[in-house]
Amino acid sequence: MTRLSILDLAPIPEGSTPAQSFKNSLHLAQHAERLGYHRYWLAEHHGMPGIASAATAVLIGHVAAGTTSIRVGSGGIMLPNHSPLVIAEQFGTLESLFPGRIDLGLGRAPGSDQRTARALRRNLHSDADEFPRDVQELLDYFSDEPQSAVRAVPGTGLHVPVWILGSSLYGAQLAAALGLPYAFASHFAPQELMQAIDIYRQTFRPSAYLRQPYVMLGFNVFAAETDERAQYLASSAQQAFLNLRSGRPAKIPPPVEHFLQGISEGERFLLNQILACSAIGAPETVATQMQAFIAKTGADELMIASNIFDHEARLASYRIAMEVFTPQPKALI
């Protein structure tokens, strides 16, 4: 059946610090574990004032150490920023510390701007074939009998589950070709969602990793006791997206009453595009919107993002999402 999971960017609200964000992330993960969420993923970003999850593997270890059963992983590691061997060693270490609980989601974007990407020593002129080769190299490091003469220690034989993440058709094609599970970033880039799902499912090749296609979709939830309160809470994420698209990334701003009424028609159009895959409202509203999205996409799993300024309101939003969620029969991994 369909499962719910959480995507956390370790947001840094105005007036707060990364240290507090890390405490909030652990608290949220423990809350999610009690509620029955399946996975808790953290995403690699760099140079972003409002996102604290830059050292993603370190933060995954922090969250995994403070929980007992929920799967913890990356959504994702931006592989072009790293040597596949280093990532194999990092996630081999995590899997050794927390066996059976670690996921490795991989993306090919830098997770930063061009200047920050250069500071990461990333090769900005790599050819298009490098990412698939890096993914296959990483898979080899986790196998029982790697083809490479180099060994990931720890890593070899640990079979850490690898996912392909994407917001375009490229990731869908690669995940299908390699027989890997696929996660689509529909929570902020929904334009090619349905086409990507169709390509992945129609061209999927069964593999040693996965026998049938498995689709996880990003989905925003801003849930509260009333529709009006939820719209108010969502305004922080709406402001953050507009700031980012305007080249002014900042800490997560506090919510604003009637925010959408005070912005331009063009800005409302942009937000409607970016946040098309969202549920905003009271419990009944959120339940209806979530189930409509699952019915439309056939998602095997939803990865819920709730970028809310107030930590307690964020906890409440995730609680409501789980309380109103009606599981659908699905194949599971």
Overall average pLDDT of the 288-302 stretch? 97
Does 117 have pLDDT greater than 90? no
Place of tokens 């946040």: 275
For residue 204, pLDDT over 70 is answered with yes
pLDDT at 167: 94
82 found inside a domain: yes
CA torsion sign for 173, 167, 69, 161 is: positive
Residue 233 lies in a domain: no
Say how far residue 82 (Cα) sits from the centre of its chain: 19
CATH at 51: 3.20.20.30
Classify residue 42: in a domain, yes or no: yes
pLDDT at 199 over 70: yes
Q: What was the pLDDT predicted at 329?
A: 53
The C-alpha angle 312, 303, 331, rounded to 5 degrees, equals 135
Our count of domains for the chain comes to: 1
Ranking 38-47, 116-125, 169-178, 296-305 by mean pLDDT, the lowest is 116-125
Q: What's the pLDDT score for residue 126?
A: 55
Q: Is residue 254, in this structure, part of any structural domain at all?
A: no
Asked if the structure places residue 292 within a domain, the reply is no
Higher pLDDT: 300 or 245? It is 300
Is residue 329 situated within a structural domain? no
Q: Is residue 75 part of a domain?
A: yes
- pLDDT of residue 287 exceeding 90, the answer is yes
- Residue 290 in any domain: the answer is no
Q: How far apart are CA 76 and CA 271, in angstroms?
A: 23
Cβ-based burial of 147 (10 A; exposed 0-12, middle 13-18, buried ≥19):
exposed
Cα–Cα distance for residue pair 172/164, rounded to 1 Å = 8
> Tokens in use for 271?
């937000």
Residue type, 227: D
Q: What is the pLDDT of residue 331?
A: 45
Domain hosting 26: range is: 3-218+301-312
Q: Identify residue 5 by its one-letter amino acid code.
A: S
Check if the beta carbon of residue 238 is closer than 8 Å to that of residue 324. no
Q: Are 197 and 300 in contact (CB under 8 A)?
A: no
